[in-house]
Amino acid sequence: MRIVILGSGRGSNAEAILLAQQAGRLGRARVVQIFSDKPAAGILALGPRFGVPAQFVDPAPFKTKLEGEGEARFIAAIRACAPDLVVLAGFMRVLKPGFLDAFAGKIINLHPSLLPQFPGLDGIGQAFRAGVKVTGCTVHYVTLEVDAGKIIEQAPVPVVPGETLETLTAKVHAAEHALLPAVIARLSEAMP
């Protein structure tokens, strides 16, 4: 299973995937490319460290969505990698129909809450402020509606008395780093 990772930030979830691959825990999956919409994103530094090509793709003209020329550049770059799965690992852009149609059924996202609760930005903060007893993370297929695609798997994280936003964030990130590579491995083993 050929994997392309898209990310906008430091790349901690991408690093978890690459570490799992390095340790032989990614099933039949292999990361073939990393792309970012930010030229200085930390995720791009993972490429040389793990021997995976990593490159910036200009997302212009929009700041928060992938549409128009930027969308066309991303589609062309990803298609050239012939991916079986496109993994959004902190990719902070809303995807539009052109992109979703180009990779229909092949795009997964990791979200830091137990969807359908707390979709959108700041899932951990939303859960913390709501005072829930359990939150977590979700891997789901990407659809037009943000964080509303079919859920593949979730990992619960208990919120304990005296929890701070910082400690909860660390716990959810740890759960994400375990869940995402495990889901990718399972999907790869199920692939014909």
Q: Which residues are catalytic?
A: 111
Considering only the C-alpha atoms of the chain, give the largest distance between any 2 of them, rounded to a whole number of Å.
49
Residue in this structure with the two tokens 């660390």, named with its chain if needed: 170
Helices (H) and strands (E) in the chain, counts: 6, 9
* Amino acid in the structure at residue 92: M
DSSP H helical ranges for 112-164: 123-130
Report the candidate in 68, 70, 67, 41 with the shortest Cα–Cα distance to residue 54: 41
For residue 164, give every residue at least 6 positions away whose Cβ sits within 8 Å of its Cβ, in sequence order, or none: none
C-alpha distances in Å from residue 192, one per residue of 28, 126, 177, 189: 11, 39, 26, 8
Q: Which two tokens stand for residue 51?
A: 């021997």
Assign 117 to helix, strand or coil: coil
